Amino acid sequence: MWTTIAVIAIFVFYFIALYNDLIARRNQAREAWATVDTQLKRRYDLIPNLIETVRGAAAHEKETLTELTRARTMAMKGDSVDSAKAQNKISQTLKNLFAVAENYPELKANQNFLELQRELADTETKIQATRQFYNTVVMRLNTQIEQFPSNLVANMFGIKQEKMFEIEESEKVAPKVKF
């Protein structure tokens, strides 16, 4: 009888440990996405200043500035990995904007522009790092959800896989810049 109770107790504790581990990984994935969101917010806050700085020096680059504004607005509406397409559009448009800025000596010499460019480059690096961390955490969660016996616990409590951050195939191609 004591053996049966011990086996049941071990099973219950193992079940609880699996459940708690799944919950911890799910919460870590959510926290990792919140960190990505924080860096994206920083990017959103810098973009209007950059647009205003460029607008003054390169007024006829209106199409690039409009595209950047549109991409920022679209990205801010998204609240999950589903906004990845808009985020990638911002990255591509920023690259185009900085390439276009090379044609404007007064803009390249503008301290405000240079500082904004440095800030955005730093932010882009942080966004890449936080996305990588997010994908690592999600991969661990998703793997555990698929493995036996934790898949039984996940199914029992409705713990679902999270979506990895992925870029579109079209975003894998280097942007074409026309001067």
The reply to whether omega before 149 is within 30° of 0 (cis) is yes
Q: What is the mean pLDDT of residues 150-176?
A: 78
pLDDT tops 50 at residue 179: no
Please check the confidence at residue 56 and state whether its pLDDT lies above 70.
no
3-state class (DSSP) for residue 148: coil
End-to-end CA, the chain: 83
Q: 106 or 164: which carries more pLDDT confidence?
A: 164
The tokens for 160 are 């679902």
Task: Write the CB contacts of 133 (distance below 8 Å, at least 6 apart in sequence).
Answer: 32, 35
Confidence of residue 8 (pLDDT cuts 50, 70, 90): very high
Examine the pLDDT at 30 and tell me if it is beyond 70: yes
23 and 160 in contact (C-beta within 8 Å)?
no
> What is the average pLDDT value for the chain, to the nearest integer?
82
Cβ atoms 126, 39 nearer than 8 A: yes
Whether CATH 1.20.1440.20 fits 2-172: yes
Between 135 and 89, the more confident residue is 135
Q: What is the pLDDT of residue 108?
A: 65
Neighbours of 152 (CB within 10 A): 11
Where do we find the tokens 């991969």?
Answer: 139
Does 114 have pLDDT greater than 70? yes
